[in-house]
Structures are given as C-alpha cells and as structure tokens.
Amino acid sequence: MKIATVMNQTVVWFAFAAICPGSLPVFAGVTTYPAPPGEAITGDYTVAVNGKPVDVYAAQSEFFEGDYSFASFDLSGKVEIEVTSAAALDNVAIQPARSAVRIERKGRRAITLAADAPFRISIQRSGRIKPLLLFGNAEEPDAPRPGEPNVVYFPPGVHRPGKIALTDNQTLYLAGGAVVKGCVHAKGTNITICGRGILGGEESPRFKGPGRYLLDCQDCRNLTVRDITLRNPWSWTFVTWNCDGVVIDNVKICGSRMINDDALDLVNTQNAVIRNCFFRTQDDSIAIKGLAKMPRPCENILIEDCEFWTDVANVFRIGYECETAGMRNITARNIDVLHYSKNYRDPTHYWANAIIWLQPNQDMLMEDCHFENIRVRSSGEDILMLMAKPMRCSYGAHKNPEPGMLRNCSFKNIEVYGEQGRFRGLLYMLGDSQKHSVSGLLFEHLTYFGRPVTQDSPCVQIGPHVAEVTFRN
C-alpha cells in the first residue's frame, strides 16, 4: 500500500488481488479530506473507505428529529465503505433504490457497501429520521492552486470572509476540508466556482446573512458551478439571476434549516444545464421564476441525473413569479425524488404542494415543459403528482395579476414505487378561462406501484378550460 499526503488531503492507493487467475489487479484510489477542528461530528455515524476514515459533518433541520449527517470523498475504481451507526440498522435502506451502491454485509449497527463509480445516496436507518447522506465523487482533475492568476483560493480550515465578490474570468476554489462561513456574489463573464469544500450559512439568522443568498449569481455569462457542498442557508440557497450559459454539476445542498431555503432558483435564466446534483431542503428543489421586470425569458433549461428531497414544499415549482418574456423549453429527466412534502394540501389550496407544479401567471405563456424518467419513492403519504394550473399569484407589488397560459407539455416514464398507503398522486389540470387555458398535455407510461395510469384513473382530474389531453401506455 502506498500513501501520499498533499495539502492536508490524504490519498490512498490500494491494490486488490485478482479474482480470476491471470487477470490484472484492480487499483482503487481514495481521496479523503479531513474536517477542520470543531467541524467533524461524532457519535451518530462513522465512515471509512478502504479502511481510511472519512469525517462526517452535520446539517440542520427543523423536522424528523433535527440535525442529520453527510460525508464525502473521492474515488477511482472499486471501493469498500464501512458505515457504523449509533442506532440500529435493522431496517436500513439506501435511496435512491436504483443506486449501484450495494449493501454487501449488514450487522446490528454496521453495514459494508461496495461501489465502483461516483454516487450520491441517502443511508436511512429509520426513513427520514437522521439519515447519513454519502457522496462519492470522481477524482478531481487539474484543481486550481493557490496564487494562480484570477483564482480566489480557500485552503482547508474554517474561514469567515463575509461576502466573497467574483467578477470576470475569476475562479473561486474551496479546497476539500475548507468550511467557508459566508456567501458568494458572482457577477460577470466566465466565472467558475468549484472544489470539494463547504459553503455554510449556519451562523446567519433567517434573512440576515452577509448577502441576499448563500450563492448569488447575477448577470453572469458562461457560469460554471461544480462539486461544492452548500449547507444551512438563511434564505434561498443558490440563485442564478438574469444569467445566460450556466453549467451546474455535482453540487450538493444540505438544507432544511428553515423555510424559504429553495435549493436552486433559476431566475430569468436561459441556456442552463443542471446535472448530477443532490438537493435536500425544506422548500422547493427547483424553482423557475421571472422577477424584477427583466426581459430575459426562462428558456432552454435541462435538469438531469439528479436526486431531490423536499420536506414541506414542491420538487419542481415553475412559474409562481412570471415577470419574464416567457418560460419554455424546460426539460427534467432521469430524476429520483427521494422524499416529498410531509404536508398534504388539497389542490385548491393556494400553497398546495406537488411533485410538479406548473402555474403560469402574469398573462405569460409557459410551453414545452417536459418531464421524463422520473422516479418517486412513496412513503405511503399522499402528494399531488401534477398541478397544471394557470393562476393569480400575488407576490411583491403584484396583488392580483392575470393568470397565464400553459401549452404543449409532456410527462413520460414516471414511476411511483415504495409504500402505497394513502398515496393517490393526483394529476390535477385546471384552466382559468378560455384565454388562460391549458392544452396539449401528453402522459406516456405513467405507473403507480406497477399499475398504469390512464385518463379514466381516479387520480386524474381534468377541469374546465383544458383541452387535448392524451394518455398512452
């Protein structure tokens, strides 16, 4: 075994004997990042990868018995992960269920997992109560170095910079083992925010941080955010505001500290790709908004290969604020909904909660929104699967705006599995008037607990001013 230490990051290479005679040995690289003093937690979970300890952090929540845990490391090749728990693991489960991470051995308070590719999972010993979120990242190529031009570098340790301001051609790098307690405001062209570190808002009261949001990206062109972890925001967590050309990759959000902590708000943003992300918050996972009378439409947005968890709100909420030229060409695919709102509300309730809520207002046309390969793990509690409802949404100076219009949306290969219990999963479609209507909705291959959903299913409710609804199985 060879061990090297670089910049407080411990890199371990393990050589495993060949399973089959004559085959080459398999090498697995593991990189861990020791937590700064006072940041690692003990007593609930411990984690080791190929025998190397991985420090565990806490995130705050108001629900499900409070704080929960998360940990991360980098891997290349097959690894063995040992997790021990202060509470019994008799009923332990891994979410998402389709994860390639396998439980190989299980004891009363310990499990051994195997993985050979990057992953993002929730290890749940008692449902939503105090899980361990575990993130296995790909090895990091070509990390920035301290002192490089246009690089703002935070090394391992705890930092309190207040607000970090970024502008054209700058890179912000949070090294593994860095915990930055503050916020970022990015404004400009060709900005990158990356690293294995944590940006945390836990020292700021609700709505009283050093900036508007934990990660506030305004008027950006060609923005890249990857690999960092955002924890305990005081308001919306991550906002792109009037941005064009956005890539968000492998970002983890450990929220649920308070309401109004939306994971990602895409505000007057276009040409955005969000992939390989894990979001847990109280409030909406993905919110697409138009604000501040900006002309830029919300369009050409792709969200794929992600895991979402909301405690009391919506997974997708598109159109509550609609000060924009339009919302169109929005696609979400290959998404796992690990947990949805614990609070069921009737679809007539102004603050109802749903997996997908399309609610255009401000006389705006919302069109070409497509959802495919969506997997929802049912807890046995009910949730609205879809709200397709132009409505009057009062916000800011707008107290009774006109509803919008909804056109040409599709919902394909949506699967609900898990505990059936009281789950109904209403598909609720309702127009406001002949002008503010809903039309052109396609549902293809929807199944609840292995059974197809058809237009005659009791979960389908089609109200007035709705036309051209098609079901295919």
- CATH at residue 431: 2.160.20.10
What's the chain's average pLDDT?
A: 93
Strand pairing report for 451-452 and 438-448? antiparallel
Which pLDDT score, from 0 to 100, does residue 11 have?
39
Q: Give the model confidence (pLDDT) of 431-455 as tens digits.
A: 999 999 999 999 999 999 999 999 9
Residues 287 and 395 in one domain: yes
Q: Give the model confidence (pLDDT) of 367-393 as tens digits.
A: 999 999 999 999 999 999 999 999 999
Q: Of 90, 114, 138, which closes a domain?
A: 138
Domain residues for the domain of 55 are 35-138
Which pLDDT score, from 0 to 100, does residue 413 have?
98
**Confidence at 399, pLDDT banded by 50, 70, 90:** confident
Q: Of 138, 163, 181, which closes a domain?
A: 138
Selection from 114, 30, 115 nearest residue 74 by Cα:
30
Residues 280 and 395 in one domain: yes
Q: Give the model confidence (pLDDT) of 215-254 as tens digits.
A: 999 999 999 999 999 999 999 999 999 999 999 999 999 9
In a domain, 73, yes or no: yes
Strand pairing partners for 463?
none
In a domain, 150, yes or no: no
Which pLDDT score, from 0 to 100, does residue 28 have?
59
Query: Any residues with CB less than 8 A from the CB of 198 and at least 6 apart, and which?
Result: 57, 174, 178, 179, 180, 228, 229, 230, 231
Which pLDDT score, from 0 to 100, does residue 295 have?
79
User: Is the pLDDT confidence value at 397 over 90?
Assistant: no
User: Is the pLDDT confidence value at 8 over 50?
Assistant: no
**Confidence at 27, pLDDT banded by 50, 70, 90:** very low
Query: Any residues with CB less than 8 A from the CB of 447 and at least 6 apart, and which?
Result: 414, 415, 416, 453
Q: Looking up tokens 């509300």, which residue turns up?
A: 345
Residues 387 and 241 in one domain: yes
What is the Cα–Cα distance from 155 to 179, expressed in whole angstroms?
A: 9
Residues 123 and 249 in one domain: no
In a domain, 16, yes or no: no
Cβ pair 166, 189 in contact under 8 A = no
**Confidence at 350, pLDDT banded by 50, 70, 90:** very high
What is the DSSP annotation of 214-246? SEEEES-EEEEEES-EEE--SS-SEEEES-EEE
Residues 257 and 121 in one domain: no
Q: Of 109, 138, 167, which closes a domain?
A: 138
What is the rounded average pLDDT of the residues 33-61?
A: 96
**CA distance to 85, 220, 247, 270, per residue, from 243 (Å):** 43, 5, 11, 7
User: Is the pLDDT confidence value at 10 over 50?
Assistant: no
- Report the range of poorest mean pLDDT among 24-28, 277-281, 285-289, 404-408: 24-28
Residues 417 and 306 in one domain: yes
Tally the domains of the chain.
2
Selection from 179, 207, 216 nearest residue 55 by Cα:
179
Can you give the CATH number for the domain in which 106 is found?
2.60.350.10
**Confidence at 429, pLDDT banded by 50, 70, 90:** very high
Cβ pair 200, 209 in contact under 8 A = no
Task: Give, for 252, the enclosing helix (H) or strand (E).
Answer: strand 252-254
In a domain, 350, yes or no: yes
What is the rounded average pLDDT of the residues 85-92?
A: 95
What is the Cα–Cα distance from 92 to 198, expressed in whole angstroms?
A: 27
What is the rounded average pLDDT of the residues 47-72?
A: 97
Q: Give the model confidence (pLDDT) of 116-138 as tens digits.
A: 999 999 999 999 999 999 999 99
In a domain, 198, yes or no: no
In a domain, 159, yes or no: no
Which pLDDT score, from 0 to 100, does residue 7 have?
40
Residues 335 and 454 in one domain: yes
In a domain, 195, yes or no: no
Percent of the residues in the chain that have a pLDDT greater than 70, as a whole number: 94
In a domain, 2, yes or no: no
